């Protein structure tokens, strides 16, 4: 039963569509926020959103999601607040996480238990061409308690029972998915154990959000020794920044992010990861050709085990990136940038400590 459910198969259910893609499907210059030419949905966007809307009509989600009230909080950080009451009340309670190295528990909820029809696509890159080996196939499944229209999970083979510790093959597949979308607000992210992961079974989140975020454009400064790692200050949650101008750099980028994340876990720190289209680390126009690539942010944080009863919201990858899904109308109406930043930054290390850690990571990646 588990194997069939994880593949989206069951009585009367077709297998998920095998979405085969190649280099020609990557949207190297995604649409901008001003509706520039080329802003039509990609083949990937059309397939994902059509399947997602079909499952919504069939009642496979925990609630019906319509347009959500959204506002940008006054202030330099341009935090995007969004009211989603039903996600706050209807989502499955997060699993109890007690350790950064907690093993997978087949008795707890996991993605082998997905209901028939919850899997939309099987992403598979066509081989050949003499380049790097393609990433492992990924299942694209609905998140039954969605943040926004098109919110999905990206899953490596669920039957392997891998815990929620980021791997380079999974991240590379997620970054390729980001390049398959033409939408400027398609983002991919990862919540680690101790970083508000709610299911200890390896997965990425991917979702569409129709607002730009400061983390996509804020300039970063390189860390010593100079290389591929930068430090991104001046954003809601200061982060370590990795960047790839196009698909050729994704394999090395994914490997470096995972090496850095493993170092954080070894140091007793939790982490979150967020990938989005964005400017080069030096800012708009700083890269070759002046185009945008993929920014990948890595946050180091003090581990949090269990929800805080006094917290207005949990701080996971969305909140760290400046996107605040809020569960209550009064909070949505009244929260200020200063209040949100206090809630977000209490989980982070002081900036001098982050900078020292960043230089350690830069040396590790340069070795």
Q: Which residues are catalytic?
A: 203
Give the rounded distance of the alpha carbon of 106 from its chain centre: 24
Residue 204: strand pairing partners: 154
Strand duo 221-222 + 204-208: pairing:
unpaired
3-state secondary structure of 221: strand
Instruction: Using the structure block, give the residue that is written with the tokens 């607040």.
Output: 81
The token duo for 25 is 């499907």
Q: Which two tokens stand for residue 211?
A: 């607002």
196: left (phi over 0), alpha (psi -120 to 50) or beta: left
* Torsions phi, psi for 35 (to 5 deg): 75, 40
Alpha-carbon gap, residue 175 to 317, rounded angstroms: 16
| CA gap 343, 73 in Å, rounded | 15
Which ranges of the chain would DSSP assign to H, the alpha helix?
A: 2-6, 43-57, 85-90, 168-180, 250-266, 317-321, 329-334, 337-345, 351-366
How many Å is the maximal CA-CA distance in the chain? 58
Selection from 182, 175, 187 nearest residue 245 by Cα = 175
d(CA 314, CA 308): 8
> Residue 200 has what DSSP assignment?
S
């Amino acid at each position: 039963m588990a194997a069939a459910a994880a593949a989206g198969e069951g009585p009367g259910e077709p297998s998920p569509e095998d979405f085969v893609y190649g280099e020609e499907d990557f949207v190297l210059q995604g649409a901008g926020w001003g509706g520039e030419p080329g802003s039509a949905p990609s083949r990937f966007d059309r397939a994902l959103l059509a399947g997602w809307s079909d499952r919504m009509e069939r009642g496979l989600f925990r609630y019906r999601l319509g347009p959500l009230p959204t506002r940008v909080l006054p202030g330099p950080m341009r935090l995007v607040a969004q009211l989603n009451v039903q996600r706050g009340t209807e989502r499955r309670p997060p699993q109890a996480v007690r350790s950064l190295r907690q093993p997978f528990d087949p008795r707890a909820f996991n993605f082998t238990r997905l209901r028939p029809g919850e899997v939309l696509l099987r992403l598979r890159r066509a081989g050949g061409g003499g380049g790097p080996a393609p990433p492992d196939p990924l299942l694209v499944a609905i998140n039954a308690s969605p943040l926004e229209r098109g919110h999905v999970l990206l899953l490596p083979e669920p039957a392997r029972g891998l815990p929620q510790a980021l791997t380079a093959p999974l991240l590379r597949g997620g970054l390729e998915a980001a390049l398959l979308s033409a939408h400027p607000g398609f983002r991919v992210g990862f919540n680690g154990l101790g970083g508000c992961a709610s299911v200890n079974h390896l997965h990425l989140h991917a979702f569409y959000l129709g607002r730009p975020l400061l983390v996509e454009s804020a300039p970063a400064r390189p860390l010593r020794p100079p290389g591929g790692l930068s430090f991104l200050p001046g954003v809601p949650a200061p982060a370590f920044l990795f960047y790839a101008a196009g698909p050729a750099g994704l394999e090395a980028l994914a490997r470096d992010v995972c090496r850095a994340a493993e170092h954080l876990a070894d140091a007793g720190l939790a982490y979150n990861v967020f990938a989005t289209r964005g400017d080069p680390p030096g800012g708009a126009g700083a890269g070759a050709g002046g185009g945008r690539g993929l920014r990948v942010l890595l946050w180091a944080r003090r581990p949090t085990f269990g929800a805080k009863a006094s917290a207005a919201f949990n701080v996971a990858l969305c909140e760290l990136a400046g996107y605040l899904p809020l569960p209550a109308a009064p909070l949505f109406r009244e929260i200020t940038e200063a209040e949100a930043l206090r809630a977000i930054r209490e989980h982070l290390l002081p900036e001098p400590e982050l900078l020292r850690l960043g230089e350690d990571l830069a040396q590790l990646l340069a070795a």
